[in-house]
């Protein structure tokens, strides 16, 4: 547990104004649309529609391939910075497809909060639930947006009940919808006592906002049909009786989520949500690390890599490492220590992702995400500091659930294939194991679609046809123990042993029985399904 209160008055203003968050949702709930509107109101893009064209993770295979082709562009959507009032928002994209859960998990280690988008007609769906559980592991504050209120949706009390029950979190309404579907008129802003009315004629127009003096204000009757006013008064009264009131501290601790209702496509409710992120969302948080935690206001710069993207430009084999700044004030050209290799590294061309453009980052503060182009030195989980040997903790690597053997279409090209696979392994797109015996590579992924994406990328980016074939193994576990124990274990189990791309020992098998046997016969060996990246 981190030992500091979530929001502190003593942070330097540049850090205190930063909000770094991700959006979690089930496919189709409206994440892309909401992102567009964030950027639109953040002044980052002139027109909505630009993000969609840029390959948000889509559901179908063909879309995926297109996304991979459009890599340079889809990558710039991995982290987006924009301003809202006096705040700087850093939105980190989570891959939409469930096949990329590991990548998603790591993304969530780089943010301080999550916005949960749900579809008002569907409520909490499976992918939302999964992602929520991940946020819960880190007690991430969550702000909820209930989208598509312009369509027939469920009863508001039902939606709130479902979130409370399925996700075991207190829900407090920040706004209350007036009507739904065709009759959706707008919302009553419960936090600011305002009436927000939706403009159906112009989807990019922000709602009219009308100050009112409480629900008994006769202004309500001027603007709303009588039946809607009566229903609103009754429902809000009930909500105030039955539901908890907003407790900012409980929100910051992840025990309570405020919910806003709206329609992203109609730009409705989005500004209120943004205001909520600014007011109730957390400032940059301390980061757990060894041997000590890192506080954002520390004068010295530290940061960690949570994502690596290779081959953004196929002409140059460059990679971009996405660094979450954990502390300090970074300036371009700074010399930082790469803690794993203990080498100095001058960061001369860091990039900041401003929606559709990459820009050189002249400076960055704790909370920001910058991209560092490099030739492979930077890996997921790496820490950069101004010299201190700190290592950020809590960025896991999961055992893959599906294993296949990769073979080069042309046997003479297997060295090339090895290089390509290693790059993807370092990018975190797959696990690559080299068996101690025999030839070929065993590639492990979390979701089946990833094999196809990999094959297509290897062909596109390296010009290498590749085949994935069923492997004799179905599970992989990392083996840990003293050198002597590892030596004895690997010697006796050669046919099951492989090395991952870091050179660590992996035990491959097809049967849980084998794993149980190892744990019985080798009490000094620990087989684990996750490995902390370092």
Pairing of strands 113-119, 142-147: parallel
Closer residue to ligand G4P in complex, CB, 274/336 = 274
Per-residue buried b or exposed e for 31-61, using 16+ beta carbons within 10 Å of the residue's own CB: bbbbbbbbbbbbebbeebebbeebbbbbeee
Binding site annotation covers 25? yes
354: contact with ligand G4P by CB under 6 A: no
To ligand G4P, the closest distance from the beta carbon of 312 in angstroms equals 22
Minimum Å gap between C-beta 493 and ligand G4P is 45
Beta bridge partners of 259: 144, 173
| Residue 353 C-beta: closest distance to ligand G4P, Å | 18
Q: Was 504 annotated as part of a binding site? A: no
Nearer to ligand G4P by Cβ, of 33 and 471: the residue is: 33
Q: Is 33 in the site for ligand G4P (CB under 6 A)?
A: yes
Q: Locate tokens 């179905």: which residue?
A: 474
29 annotated ligand-binding residue: yes
272 touches ligand G4P by CB under 6 A: no
- Kindly give the pairing relationship between strand 194-197 and strand 87-92: unpaired
CA distance 211 to 195: 6
User: Quick check: 372 and 320 in contact, CB under 8 A?
Assistant: yes
Q: Which of 116, 160, 264, 355 binds ligand G4P (CB under 6 A)?
A: 264
Separation of alpha carbons 344 and 361, rounded Å: 20
Answer yes or no whether residue 452 interacts with ligand G4P by CB under 6 A: no
186 is in an annotated binding site: no
Can residue 148 be called a binding residue for ligand G4P (CB under 6 A)?
yes
Stretch that binds ligand G4P, among 24-32, 308-316, 424-432, 448-456 (CB under 6 A): 24-32
Between residue 383 and residue 442, which ones bind ligand G4P under the rule CB under 6 A?
A: none
Instruction: Give the nearer residue to ligand G4P in terms of CB position, either 30 or 286.
Output: 30
**Rounded-to-integer distance, Cα 230 and Cα 250, Å:** 32
Query: Of 33 and 109, which has the nearer Cβ to ligand G4P?
Result: 33
**Residue 125 contacts ligand G4P per CB under 6 A:** no
198 interacts with ligand G4P by CB under 6 A: no
Stretch that binds ligand G4P, among 128-136, 258-266, 414-422, 500-508 (CB under 6 A): 258-266
Whether cis (ω within 30° of 0) applies to the bond prior to 168 is no
Nearer to ligand G4P, 28 or 297 (CB): 28
Q: How far is the CB of 28 from ligand G4P (least distance, A)?
A: 4
- 27 near ligand G4P, rule: CB under 6 A: yes
Q: Token pair for residue 42?
A: 């953040």
CB within 8 Å of 250: residues ≥ 6 apart: 170, 256
d(CA 128, CA 122): 11
For ligand G4P, which stretch binds (CB under 6 A), given 8-16, 147-155, 383-391, 423-431? 147-155
Q: Is 149 annotated to bind ligand?
A: yes
Please, are residues 95 and 74 in contact by the beta-carbon 8 Å criterion? no
Residue 93 marked as a ligand binder: yes
- Asked if 92 touches ligand G4P (CB under 6 A), the answer is no
Q: Does 151 bind ligand G4P (CB under 6 A)?
A: yes
- Residue 184: how many CA atoms within 13 Å on its side-chain side? 28
The DSSP code sequence of 16-79 is: HTEEEEEEEE-TTSSHHHHHHHHHHHTTS-SSTTTTGGGT---SSHHHHHHHHHTHHHHHHTTE
Q: Please, which residue, 274 or 466, has the CB nearer to ligand G4P?
A: 274
Q: How far apart are CA 351 and CA 364, in angstroms?
A: 10
Regarding 31 and contact with ligand G4P (CB under 6 A), the answer is: yes
Question: Residue 302 interacts with ligand G4P (CB under 6 A)?
Answer: no
269 binds ligand G4P (CB under 6 A): no
For position 78 contacting ligand G4P by CB under 6 A, the verdict is no
The count of residues interacting with ligand G4P (CB under 6 A) is: 18
Q: Reduce the DSSP state of residue 397 to 3 states and report it.
A: strand
Give Dmax (Cα) for the chain.
83
Q: Which H/E stretch holds residue 202? A: none
Tell whether residue 465 is a contact of ligand G4P (CB under 6 A).
no
Q: How far is the CB of 137 from ligand G4P (least distance, A)?
A: 23
CA 17, CA 529: separation in Å to the nearest integer? 38
Between 27 and 394, CB nearer to ligand G4P? 27
Q: Helix 449-462 to helix 61-69 angle, to the nearest 10 degrees?
A: 30
Contact range with ligand G4P by CB under 6 A, out of 14-22, 28-36, 165-173, 349-357: 28-36
Q: Is 107 annotated as a binding residue?
A: no
Cα–Cα distance for residue pair 345/323, rounded to 1 Å: 14
State yes or no: residue 172 binds ligand G4P (CB under 6 A). Answer: no
Distance CA 152, CA 203 (A): 18
Closest CB to ligand G4P among residues 56, 500: 56
Among 16, 19, 48, 56, binds ligand G4P (CB under 6 A): 56
The site for ligand G4P (CB under 6 A) is made up of: 25, 27-33, 56, 96, 147-148, 150-151, 263-266
Binding-site residues for GTP sit at 25-32, 93-97, 147-150
Binding-site residues sit at 25-32, 93-97, 147-150
């Amino acid at each position: 547990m981190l030992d500091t209160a979530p929001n502190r008055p003593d942070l330097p203003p540049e850090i205190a104004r930063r909000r770094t968050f991700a959006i979690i949702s089930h496919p189709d709930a409206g994440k892309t649309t909401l992102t567009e509107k964030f950027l639109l109101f953040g002044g980052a893009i002139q027109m909505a529609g630009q993000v969609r064209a840029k390959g948000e993770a889509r559901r179908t295979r063909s879309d995926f391939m297109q996304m991979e082709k459009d890599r340079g562009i889809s990558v710039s959507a991995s982290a987006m910075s924009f301003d809202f009032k006096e705040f700087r928002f850093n939105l980190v994209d989570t891959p939409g497809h469930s096949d990329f859960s590991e990548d998603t998990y790591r993304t969530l280690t780089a943010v301080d909060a999550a916005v949960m988008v749900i579809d008002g007609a569907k409520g909490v769906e499976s992918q939302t639930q999964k992602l929520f559980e991940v946020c819960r592991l880190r007690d991430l504050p969550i702000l909820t947006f209930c989208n598509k209120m312009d369509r027939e949706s469920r009863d508001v009390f039902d939606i709130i009940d479902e979130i409370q029950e399925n996700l075991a979190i207190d829900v407090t309404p920040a706004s209350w919808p007036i009507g739904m579907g065709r009759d959706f008129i707008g919302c009553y802003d419960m936090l600011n006592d305002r009436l927000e009315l939706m403009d159906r004629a112009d989807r990019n127009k922000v709602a009219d906002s009308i100050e009112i003096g409480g629900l008994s204000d006769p202004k309500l009757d001027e603007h709303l049909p009588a039946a809607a006013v009566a229903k609103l008064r009754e429902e809000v009264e009930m909500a105030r009786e039955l539901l908890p009131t907003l407790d900012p501290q409980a929100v910051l601790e992840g025990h309570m989520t405020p919910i806003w209702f709206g329609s992203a496509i109609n730009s409705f409710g989005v500004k209120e949500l943004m205001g909520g992120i600014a007011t109730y969302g957390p400032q940059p948080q301390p980061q757990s690390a060894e041997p000590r935690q890192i506080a954002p206001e520390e004068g010295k710069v530290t940061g960690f890599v949570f994502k690596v993207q290779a081959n953004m430009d196929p002409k140059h084999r460059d990679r971009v490492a996405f660094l979450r700044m954990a502390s300090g004030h970074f300036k371009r050209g700074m010399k930082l220590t790469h803690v794993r290799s203990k080498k100095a590294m001058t960061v001369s061309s860091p990039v900041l992702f401003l929606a559709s453009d990459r820009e050189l980052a002249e400076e960055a503060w704790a909370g920001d995400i910058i991209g560092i182009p490099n030739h492979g030195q930077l890996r997921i989980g790496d820490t950069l500091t101004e010299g201190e040997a700190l290592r950020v903790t809590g960025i896991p690597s999961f055992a893959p659930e599906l294993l296949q053997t990769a073979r080069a279409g042309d046997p003479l090209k297997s060295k090339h294939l090895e290089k390509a696979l290693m790059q993807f392994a370092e990018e975190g797109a797959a696990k690559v194991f080299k068996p101690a015996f025999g030839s070929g590579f065993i590639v492990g992924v979390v979701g089946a679609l990833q094999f196809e994406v990999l094959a297509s990328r290897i062909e596109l980016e390296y010009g290498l046809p590749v085949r994935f074939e069923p492997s004799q193994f179905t599970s992989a576990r990392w083996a840990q123990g003293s050198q002597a124990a590892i030596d004895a274990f690997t010697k006796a189990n050669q046919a099951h042993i492989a090395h991952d791309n870091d050179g660590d020992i992996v035990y491959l098998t097809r049967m849980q029985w084998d794993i149980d046997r190892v744990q019985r016969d080798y009490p000094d060996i620990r087989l684990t399904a996750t490995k902390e990246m370092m």
